[in-house]
Amino acid sequence: MKKLISTVIIVFLTLSLLSSCNNDKGNKDIINYDFHDVKINFTADDDDFLYEMEKDRPILFAIDNNGYLYYNELTQNFMKVTVLGLDGEKIDEAEIEPIGVWESGEFIPYPNGAESFNCIAVKDNVLYFTDSHPFTRDSTAVFSYNFNTKEQVKIAEIEGFNDVRKIIPLDGKLYLLGIDERLSQNINPAKNNYKGESIISVALQTGEHETVFDNMPFMMAETEDGVLIISAYAENGGYYFKKLNSENIIPNDNLNFSNSEEPNFEMYGSENIIHDSDKFLVFLPVDGNSETRVIVNNLPSINRKNFAVKSGYLFYETGSGVRRIKLSEEVNPAVLNMAHYSVLPPIIENFGFGLTFEQIDTYELSLSLLSLDSNYDMYNINSFSDISDNIRQKGAFYPLNDVPYVNEYLNAVFPYVREAAINEDGDIWMLPIYLHTNGLLYNEKICEEYDIDIAQLNTSEDLIEILATLKSRDITEYYDITHPQFFFERSFYQIMRKNNEFNRDDFREMALYIYDNINYIKDDWSYNRITSDTNPYPLIQVPGSVNRVADLRGRYLLYRRGVGDYHMQESFNRALEYEDYDDDYFWANLGKVDFRYFENYKHNRFILYPSVKAVEGIHVNDVTLEFITVNPHSENLDVVLEYISALAEYQLNLENSFILHDEKTYSMDRHFVKDAYEILNYEGNFIRFSLDSELIYSDFEKFLGDEITLDEYLNRAEFKINAYLRE
Amino acid sequence: MKPTKKSRIPWNIKCLFCLVPSLVGITIFFVIPYFRVLYYSLIDNQFRRNFVWLDNYVKTIQNEYFQLAFKNSLLLILIAVPALILSSLSISLMLSFGLKKLRVLRTAFVLPLVIPTASAALIWATFFANVDNVLPVYLLFIWKNIGICIILMTAAFTCIDDSVFEAAKLDGAKRFTIHRKITIPLIMPTLIFSILISIVSSFKVFKETYLYYGGTNYPPQYSYTLQYYMNNNFLKLDYQSLAASAVFTSLLVFVIVIIGLLLQRRYTW
Amino acid sequence: MVKIGKAGKNIFLVLLAALFFLPVFMTVGMSFLDNNMPTFQNYADLLFDCFVFYPVFWNSVLYAAVITIIGLLVIIPAAFGFSHAKFKGKGALFIFYIILMMMPLQVTILPNYIGLRDLGLINTRLGIILPACFSPFGVVVMSRYMQSINNSVIEAMRMETNSVIKIIFHAVIPQIRICIFAVVLFVFADCWNMLEQPLLFLRDINLQTLPVFLSNTEKYAGSVLFPAAVLFMFPVLLLYNFFSDSLEKGLTFGDLS
Amino acid sequence: MRVLNIIITLIFFASMVVLTVTARDIHNALLPQVTARRLTQEDFEFVIDFEYDGIPQTAVITQKRLAIPKELYNPDTSDAVFVVTTIYINGEERVGVRRVVPQTNEKNEGFYEVTGGISRSDFVIFTSSKVLEDGAEVFILAS
């Protein structure tokens, strides 16, 4: 009997150890590398040079050994290549004669031929370029143009080969990477992004070509000392590097290529730079040891196809031309680990620091703070989380008073934000990043049509009055701007702002007000809409949206919309970048805004969302703040403070930041920016901390649903709020 | 029988050596943390760390919500534990001295040990949906811990010698007096012991009640126990009041244990 | 009157047992219901679609088994020490054990976290196993029982050998078999229901235990969780069956020698 | 009674062991077994007009375009095609399908030209052992 039991137990043990380690290692996507440390950083501004070009289409460019820039203007029917020197002055120019195909002795130019050029390369003053036949697309012609002799030669025409992605001229041969027809049919789908590429070499003199490598290559590059490096997909996922004429380099099989559409990589010293997502350039040692390094920089959005590394410079294409940055060897020692409280990590710049994000909940956060843990360097908290104010009161932060730029930044932000960032004994306990509050968006023209005077709309009574008039003239068929939960939340903060402990009469008054004016249908508390016409304000779901008031033809009159959060900043920056900014581009980017509903969007204006009751005479508006606190026990505190000062400096001279106080930093000519600024600059704004209306949501809902009496609700609310405050 | 050579180490020391592994483990994983809690209860703030000696205790004692929580926990121990002991005693008496084939019913009482916390809370929420007093929590406590007590007691009953009963039956004692006079005093040590175990599990039942009230940190007033007080303070980074109240609970426990041992010494013959 | 009293008592007992059996019946019932149509789909979903369940299940088995075994190796000698060694502060030490046993979880979470972190045991299996092996609960229970065992057998054994381990193995263990089973049952059940420690001390999902899996309601559909709850109940129930068998047998032979 | 108990325990843990090892294969076997391939480029005739030193000209030329076989998708008979995508089930990433209605333009004897809905790198389900619906998990047989 005993032997039996012992054998069974031993079986358990072996099995559980086995089962826990054999779940197959999912191939790790390139994005979630384990970043070790940042080796290479972009230098300061002096080595940051921009070749300005007015261009309406992406360009192709190549760099020769002494750093001259050859770029190609894709004009209508022929290719003009200009050569720029190191400080942007024009050195040479070449007009390539029209590209066409010789058919039965007759030269037929391709009408919109220029678009079909794939890529160009340059070596000791000779330009090489390829083009695929624009119609048949089944063959690629290879040309060379000699800048000295100014003559153009068609070297070869390769059947069944197109979409050339890279040309590398190397000791007498041209290596082309493109899609090979016969390979691109049946490929194992789920493993990687291989589309049937292969590498073909073309002899410069004779023009005959042969396939050099077709075992699932995806990119190739040339080292400074003239060796061709190919990277190819490995069989079981991930990829490996291979020198052209030598044995395999050790495959690093735990790296799977990212899902970016146009893979590209360049060689820099003994390492290669894999360009991955917009913000990251990843440095990976070719010999495959898994120690990876990332350089994170503030490149707005690098064109994936188009970046080159030559003689210590990084060239990449931007909206206004080609930018050249010196790669310096300066080393940033630490990768900082930021814990974030909300689901998404904060959208902030990284200024060349390695930043990793990890989401944690309240319990883990308190455990980490109380145990003086050092596994998080910074915490990204928003003010409505229960823990935000406790960090200030208990001193679980590193004071940022003497960090450069932070003081300056706090003087530049809105006064109520500055006040929130400094605790009683003068310590700056956090760095505010962005604000978020509620605004009411209305369409001037349509409101005039229905003669609604928005000017006198600043309390909820006015709003309800307007909705009643709309209802009486049955102009509007459906809206859902008056939702009990939203009104409850706003009045809760306004009351608690006035007296920070439970005030029975205010709560009684608020509860009765909402009970009488706002209609509540059972079980519809958290913002989902109800479709019934039994109550005075028919609340019918507008397709795919919340908080909107639309007229019969679906045009928007009123719309509750977040103001100032990073969506606004993000879309604004993107709008600015392309210069052709105008209102509709901006609106299209402001979150999932469905254009059909915003007919004449040029007339959309923002005002402060009406508040429920005045506090000390002014109408009060609660604002949530997203901020960063520094863990005093972080091991790499000096690097963290360096990052904080870089972030503060960046925020300090941010245009349209929706957190800075100075009007001059906002493009006030755009009326929605002016409106948003006015909302955020309203003197009744205050940052609401910790105390969350969630505390008594469920009781209030029971009261609205007549499950408990008013007094019962008030007793419960009293116990909960006072317990929370005085525990 | 070969003469045993005189072992160098006396027998008593050998028994002490048996204690060593447990003592080492206890010190690392229980004693050091306990003294850490004591240290935390004497400093002012987890981050500034300067000694304020008994301020935290004074602050905690005066805090009305600590008093409320302490009262509720005490009530739980003073009402629910005796109820648990009585019910488990009566059930185990019925089981042990009732019909032989009813023995299998004991498995039913062990089931609550087996049910996962989440399902138990869910079932309690469906049964006692809108009961507005503390009864569901007490019933949940009794339901969860009756299994252990019954096992302990039935195991204790098995140790009692049958001959004792024959003697009592001979001089015509009725069933009830037999139990009162003989069986209960005989298993008094186990009884005391199950009381201690139940008090331990009165702290463990917090998870179920937390889920029963829908995961809110602020349940109705009557079931706001010490665990809620400590949990909320943990979330508010106020570890000092948590540590102070923890030391209070250990004093409470200490007092109960002492009373238990005194009772036991008086009753054992 | 006695006759009715007896029958009434039995009926009351059966009813009470049925009442206790109801929750289990409900859980099992729910695991077979899919919006109240009886179906095996839930089990199919769990066993053949939710592959996270297996590492989690075997983790729980590993933790419970290892803790129980190592626990016994620590508890039995310690209880023997408590009951048979004579030293001055024994009473006080025993009371200290009881107090430590009663410390509520909220209190010990932070100091344990700090202790484990300093030992580098966070996010490792040992971080869960070691603290549980040395819990004072087993020692307190078993030392109570050892006081009432028959010392003459031990004296006899001491004549032949002076290695304590042999004495414990041959003289003591046979006498306290019931208590060993009771401790095994309680320790196994306690580790099997462990929720807070793994939740906070383990970050990596495939180290987690079954109760953590069951409490993760948003990630896994309800249809998967109920069958998982049913499977959750099996091991402890089976262990209990072992115990209740031996209890019956324990009574009849050899116990009162 | 004791022996029965041991047997039940052994059965329970043995079945758990078996399930641990075979669950994934059984799951894959029950999934619709599909074959998936990328679409090929086929020749389609196009009438184009262009200008050569001032004289507008028209020409019929054949061009290679992304093509979908007629038996797989026919605008007037079949309603949709399925494309391989990643789906999330029980906290795990799996290979699944999404329902796509491709836009078609020209046609020739065997194919329709695909102008929208399916990109060159998408894998289209050609054969499936069971009827598929949107978001279903599939098992791709090595083509």
Lowest mean pLDDT among A210-214, A235-239, A520-524: A520-524
Query: CB pairs under 8 A, 24+ apart, for A587-596?
Result: A590/A561, A591/A567, A592/A544, A594/A544, A594/A545, A596/A554
Q: What is the pLDDT of residue D13?
A: 92
Which residues between 79 and 108 in chain A have a beta carbon less than 8 angstroms from any beta carbon of chain D? 108
Q: Which residues contact A437 (CB under 8 A, 6 or more apart)?
A: A562, A563, A564, A609, A621, A622, A623, A624, A679, A680, A685
- Confidence band of A45 (pLDDT split at 50, 70, 90): very low
Pick from D37, D46, D120: which is nearest to A195 by CB?
A: D120
Q: What is the pLDDT of residue A304?
A: 55
Same domain, yes or no: D45 and D3: no
Domain boundaries, given as residue ranges, for chain B: 9-42, 55-267
As a whole number of angstroms, the distance between CA A145 and CA A149 comes to: 8
The H or E element that residue D113 is part of is strand D111-116
Q: What is the pLDDT of residue C36?
A: 74
Is B20 in contact with B202 (CB distance < 8 Å)? no
* Highest-scoring range by mean pLDDT, A138-142, A416-420, A613-617, B96-100: A416-420
Which residues between 83 and 112 in chain D have a beta carbon less than 8 angstroms from any beta carbon of chain C? 89-92
* Contacts A366 to B, Cβ<8 Å: 234-237
Which residues between 172 and 191 in chain C have a beta carbon less than 8 angstroms from any beta carbon of chain A? none
The DSSP line for A86-123 is TTS-EEEEEEEPPPEEEETTEEEE-TTGGGGEEEEEEE
Same domain, yes or no: D59 and D37: yes
Query: pLDDT for C144-194, tens place per residue?
Result: 777 777 778 878 887 777 777 888 788 788 878 877 888 888 889 889 988
- Give CA separation, A488 vs A611, A680, B214, in Å: 11, 22, 21
Same domain, yes or no: D26 and D48: no
Pick from A11, A26, A136: which is nearest to D64 by CB?
A: A136
- Confidence band of A534 (pLDDT split at 50, 70, 90): very low
Residue C146 lies in a domain: yes
Structure tokens at B212: 């029963």
As a whole number of angstroms, the distance between CA B199 and CA B80 comes to: 9
As a whole number of angstroms, the distance between CA B161 and CA B158 comes to: 8
The H or E element that residue C20 is part of is helix C2-32
Contact C164 B111 (CB under 8 A): no
As a whole number of angstroms, the distance between CA A294 and CA A337 comes to: 14
Q: What is the pLDDT of residue A598?
A: 38
ipTM of the complex: 0.77
Lowest mean pLDDT among A111-115, A656-660, B13-17, B22-26: A111-115
Is A558 in contact with A479 (CB distance < 8 Å)? yes
Number of alpha carbons in the 13 Å side-chain half-sphere of residue A135: 19
Pick from A9, A367, A371: which is nearest to C65 by CB?
A: A9
Number of domains in chain D: 2
Is A607 in contact with A454 (CB distance < 8 Å)? yes
Query: pLDDT for B39-86, tens place per residue?
Result: 888 888 777 788 888 888 898 899 999 999 999 988 988 899 999 999
Q: Which domains does chain A have, with CATH numbers?
A: 29-328 (2.120.10.30)
Report whether pLDDT(B184) > 60: yes
Pick from B45, B48, B65: which is nearest to A727 by CB?
A: B65
Pick from C59, C69, C110: which is nearest to A20 by CB?
A: C59
* Contacts D90 to C, Cβ<8 Å: 49-52, 219-221, 224
Mean pLDDT of chain B: 81
Query: pLDDT for B117-144, tens place per residue?
Result: 888 888 888 888 777 788 888 988 898 8
Structure tokens at A450: 């229905």
Same domain, yes or no: D81 and D123: yes
As a whole number of angstroms, the distance between CA A270 and CA A263 comes to: 20
More confident of the two residues B194 and C145: B194
Mutation target vs C (from A7, A12, A13, A371; most C CBs, 10 A cutoff): A371
Mean pLDDT of A256-269: 62
What percent of chain A has pLDDT above 70?
61
Give the structural domain span for C171.
Answer: 51-219
Mean pLDDT of chain A: 70
* Contacts C250 to D, Cβ<8 Å: none
More confident of the two residues A303 and A390: A390
Contact C87 B12 (CB under 8 A): yes
Secondary structure (3-state) at C211: helix
Same domain, yes or no: D40 and D105: yes
Give the structural domain span for D12.
Answer: 1-30
Q: What is the pLDDT of residue C170?
A: 81
Q: What is the pLDDT of residue C61?
A: 93
- Confidence band of A124 (pLDDT split at 50, 70, 90): confident
Same domain, yes or no: D38 and D107: yes
Query: pLDDT for A4-14, tens place per residue?
Result: 544 544 554 44
Q: Which residues contact C73 (CB under 8 A, 6 or more apart)?
A: B21
B6 touches chain A (CB under 8 A): no
Report whether pLDDT(A530) > 50: no
Report whether pLDDT(A660) > 80: yes
Report whether pLDDT(A34) > 80: no
- Name the CATH topology of B55-267: MetI-like fold (1.10.3720)
Query: pLDDT for A677-715, tens place per residue?
Result: 888 888 888 888 867 777 888 888 888 888 888 998 999
As a whole number of angstroms, the distance between CA A301 and CA A710 comes to: 56
* Highest-scoring range by mean pLDDT, A42-56, A335-349, A712-726: A712-726
Q: Tell me the CA end-to-end span of chain D in Å, nearest whole number.
A: 55
As a whole number of angstroms, the distance between CA C9 and CA C6 comes to: 5
Report whether pLDDT(A584) > 60: no
Is A641 in contact with A403 (CB distance < 8 Å)? yes
Residue C126 lies in a domain: yes
Is A720 in contact with A695 (CB distance < 8 Å)? yes
Q: What is the pLDDT of residue A415?
A: 92
A–C contact (≥3 CB pairs within 8 Å)?
Answer: yes
More confident of the two residues A594 and D127: D127
Are β-strands A280-285 and A139-146 bridged in parallel, bridged antiparallel, or unpaired? unpaired
Provide the sign of the torsion angle of the four alpha carbons A424, A429, A433, A437, taken in this order.
negative
Report whether pLDDT(B173) > 70: no
> How many CB atoms neighbour CB B8 within 10 A?
7
Buried b (16+ CB within 10 A) or exposed e, A670-697: bebbbbbbebbebebbbbbbbbbbebbb
Q: What is the pLDDT of residue A475?
A: 57
Report whether pLDDT(A448) > 70: yes
What percent of chain A has pLDDT above 90?
5
- Confidence band of A129 (pLDDT split at 50, 70, 90): confident
- Confidence band of A2 (pLDDT split at 50, 70, 90): very low
Secondary structure (3-state) at C128: helix
As a whole number of angstroms, the distance between CA B15 and CA C164 comes to: 7
Closest-CA residue of chain B to C114: B33
Closest-CA residue of chain A to B219: A720
A364 touches chain C (CB under 8 A): yes
Lowest mean pLDDT among A73-87, A192-206, C93-107: A73-87
More confident of the two residues A416 and B174: A416
Task: Write phi, then psi, for A381 (nearest 5 degrees).
Answer: -120, 150
Same domain, yes or no: D111 and D96: yes
The H or E element that residue A436 is part of is strand A431-443
Same domain, yes or no: D67 and D45: yes
Report whether pLDDT(C137) > 80: yes
Is C61 in contact with B161 (CB distance < 8 Å)? no
Lowest mean pLDDT among A671-675, B42-46, B199-203: A671-675
Q: What is the pLDDT of residue B256?
A: 80
As a whole number of angstroms, the distance between CA A164 and CA A145 comes to: 18
Same domain, yes or no: D81 and D131: yes
Mean pLDDT of A28-48: 41
Same domain, yes or no: D57 and D7: no
Is B234 in contact with B242 (CB distance < 8 Å)? yes
Mean pLDDT of chain D: 83
More confident of the two residues A1 and A344: A344
Same domain, yes or no: D71 and D136: yes
Q: What is the pLDDT of residue D14?
A: 93
Report whether pLDDT(A575) > 70: no
Number of domains in chain C: 1
Is A572 in contact with A471 (CB distance < 8 Å)? no
Q: What is the pLDDT of residue A117?
A: 60
Query: pLDDT for C53-104, tens place per residue?
Result: 899 999 999 999 999 999 999 998 888 888 887 888 888 888 888 878 877 7
Q: What is the pLDDT of residue D58?
A: 74
Residue C114 lies in a domain: yes
Distance from CA of A274 to the nearest CA of C (A): 29
The DSSP line for C70-81 is HHHHHHHHHHHH
* Contacts D2 to C, Cβ<8 Å: 242, 245, 249
